[in-house]
């Protein structure tokens, strides 16, 4: 399960990076190019992906 969550986190973060680059017009070729709202959505996706990845990496403490 941790591996799946890590993979999803990485994929979401990569998608966020692409959306940011398209939103700020650095990666042309899409309907998202030059639309600042996609840069904002990308930043949110990047943050969510990184959070998911790092939360999946946390060690669980043993029950007391």
Query: Which pLDDT score is estimated for 29?
Result: 86
* Mean pLDDT across 33-59: 94
- pTM beyond 0.95: the answer is no
* Mean pLDDT across 2-14: 95
Q: Are 41 and 23 in contact (CB under 8 A)?
A: yes
Helix (H) / strand (E) containing 46: helix 36-57
Query: Which pLDDT score is estimated for 61?
Result: 67
* CA 45/CA 32 separation, integer angstroms: 15
* Mean pLDDT across 26-50: 93
């Amino acid at each position: 399960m941790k591996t799946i969550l890590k993979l999803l986190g990485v994929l979401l973060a990569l998608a966020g990076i692409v959306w940011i680059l398209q939103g700020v017009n650095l990666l042309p070729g899409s309907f998202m190019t030059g639309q600042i709202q996609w840069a904002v959505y990308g930043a949110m996706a990047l943050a969510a992906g990184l959070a998911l990845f790092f939360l999946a990496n946390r060690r669980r403490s043993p029950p007391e």
